[in-house]
Amino acid sequence: MSDALKIKIRVFAALVPVCFFLGLAAQDLARGRFSAGARAAVLTPQSGESVLPEPALEILGFIRERGLKTYRLSPVLKSNVYICQRVTESAWLLARPDPGSGNLFIDKSELGAYKTAGALTEKANVVLVLVH
């Protein structure tokens, strides 16, 4: 038996249980075997956003309200891995991070350093600075 065939067999063997589980889950969902709350959580867009940290929710709100296609995070926000990761995950269908973007999100604690940078729009924890 060739090495390529052995690899294909291993991959197939690993995928069979996953496909089986997904098939059962899809059948349960179609047959209504999940509670109404569970179905709503799976099928409703944006249903999991309540667990995001407040700064990530505010950034996501700015992105949606203004229809932003690109954004960048200040060094302070970028250094907070928890916020940076959650923003990237939750906004990935709407906007992409771009180091050259004119839409800069800063933490409110950084406001003094950016007062002359451009138009400012504030929320409770985050400020959108429009840099041109």
For residues 26 and 77, state if they share a domain.
Answer: no
Same domain? 25 vs 53: no
Are 68 and 113 in the same domain?
yes
User: Residue 106 forms beta bridges with which residues?
Assistant: 127
The predicted model scores a pTM of 0.68
pLDDT tens profile 74-127: 999 999 999 999 999 899 889 999 999 999 999 999 988 887 777 788 899 999
Q: Is the same domain home to 30 and 56?
A: no
Tell me the residue range of the domain where 33 lies: 3-43
Residue 122, beta-bridge partner list: 127
Q: Give the integer Cα–Cα distance in Å for 47 and 105.
A: 24
Domain identity same for 53 and 68: yes
